[in-house]
């Protein structure tokens, strides 16, 4: 295989990228996207501030652009994300408890209904746990007003809205075995034991020198898979350059391939030119859309 997508397909996986609607008109961006990737995640366009900036006013234009482009190219789409403390319009935080519950369920339902049948996997809830050793939930309007049950409620609402979509919990700093991933693990185990609908866990996998690819990455993916969920690498980027960056990328690919329920890998952007890490070079194509050593390492590891 001579592209990331075709190599991944040969292994029964997808290889995806975050996509920004605003770059689709740049020909090198679109050419690289269309040639290399078999899955797309709207980078910002499906977040709450983009899709429901004011209560009950839904705006899907930018997300539709990404979804239509991806489906037109035969890609699958990851929906990102329905319930998250960030990129959340301020009106949500101003609601009282009963209103917030209604608004959360309405948001999930309306956004999922709009994309019904078009989304492979949804990040239903994103980043609900704190960093560090506590294993506690992160403060957010949802957590603070609705309590621990908000995640379960969001997943139940999501299942009803689009029964065909896989429903994921997604987070960062959960890539290795640690207190935070242990807390997510306990939640998933509890959900599976009580029949709360969850199909997949997303591991963002934003790595840098302070937070490198953990040595127990594969083992951590496997323990989640063993609970009976798929696992996905959802926002991969690795700071650095040259051989060391290439080796880290290859390690991530090998870890996923070694876990049969690791169904796909998404990198968080097509090109270093538009990485959210504006000063960094964490992706597979440089700013001129040239393949980096990391690209070659991923292709050979696939
Ligand atoms: C980032 C986008 O890449 C940026 O463009 C935006 O300014 C902030 O959000 N975790 C997530 C992603 O789940 O949605 C974030 O994306 C990166 C961290």
C-beta neighbour count of 13 within 10 angstroms: 22
- Looking at ligand 1, which residue's alpha carbon is closest to its atom 9? 44
- Looking at ligand 1, which residue's alpha carbon is closest to its atom 1? 276
pLDDT given for residue 1 in this prediction: 87
Q: Ligand 1 within 6 A of 44 CB?
A: yes
pLDDT given for residue 279 in this prediction: 74
Q: Ligand 1 within 6 A of 274 CB?
A: no
- Determine contact, residues 220/251, Cβ cutoff 8 Å: no
C-beta neighbour count of 282 within 10 angstroms: 23
pLDDT given for residue 39 in this prediction: 99
- The answer, yes or no, to whether ipTM is higher than 0.95 is yes
- Looking at ligand 1, which residue's alpha carbon is closest to its atom 16? 43
Spans in the chain with pLDDT lower than 50: none
235: annotated active-site residue: yes
| Preceding omega of 287 cis (within 30 degrees of 0) | no
Distance 141 CA to ligand 1 centre (A): 19
Atom of ligand 1 nearest to the CA of 84: 13
* Best of 16, 45, 86 for a ligand 1 pocket test (most atoms within 8 Å of beta carbon): 86
């Amino acid at each position: 295989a001579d592209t990331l997508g075709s190599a991944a397909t040969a292994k029964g996986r997808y290889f995806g990228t975050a996509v920004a609607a605003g770059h689709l008109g740049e020909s090198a961006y679109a050419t690289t996207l269309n040639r290399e990737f078999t899955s797309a995640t709207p980078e910002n366009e499906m977040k709450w501030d983009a899709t429901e900036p004011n209560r009950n006013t839904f705006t899907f234009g930018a997300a539709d652009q990404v979804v239509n482009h991806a489906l037109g190219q035969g890609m699958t789409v990851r929906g990102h994300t329905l319930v998250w403390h960030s990129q959340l319009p301020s009106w949500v935080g101003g609601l009282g408890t009963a209103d917030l519950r209604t608004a959360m369920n309405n948001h999930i339902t309306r956004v999922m209904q709009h994309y019904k049948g078009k989304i492979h996997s949804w990040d239903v809830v994103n980043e609900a746990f704190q960093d560090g050793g506590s294993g506690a939930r992160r403060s957010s309007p949802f957590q603070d007003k609705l309590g621990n049950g908000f995640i379960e409620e969001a997943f139940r609402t999501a299942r009803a809205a689009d029964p065909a979509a896989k429903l994921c919990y997604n987070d960062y700093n959960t890539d290795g075995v640690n207190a935070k991933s242990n807390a997510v693990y306990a939640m998933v185990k509890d959900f599976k034991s009580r029949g709360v609908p969850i199909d997949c866990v997303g591991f963002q996998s934003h790595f840098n020198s302070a937070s490198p690819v953990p040595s127990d990455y594969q083992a951590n993916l496997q323990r989640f898979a063993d609970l009976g969920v798929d696992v996905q690498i959802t926002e991969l980027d690795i700071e650095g350059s040259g051989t060391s960056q290439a080796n880290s990328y290859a390690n991530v690919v090998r870890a996923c391939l070694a876990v049969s329920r690791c169904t796909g890998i998404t990198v968080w952007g097509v090109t270093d030119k538009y990485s959210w890490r504006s000063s960094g070079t964490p992706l597979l194509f440089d700013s001129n859309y040239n393949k980096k050593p990391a690209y070659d390492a991923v292709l050979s590891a696939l």
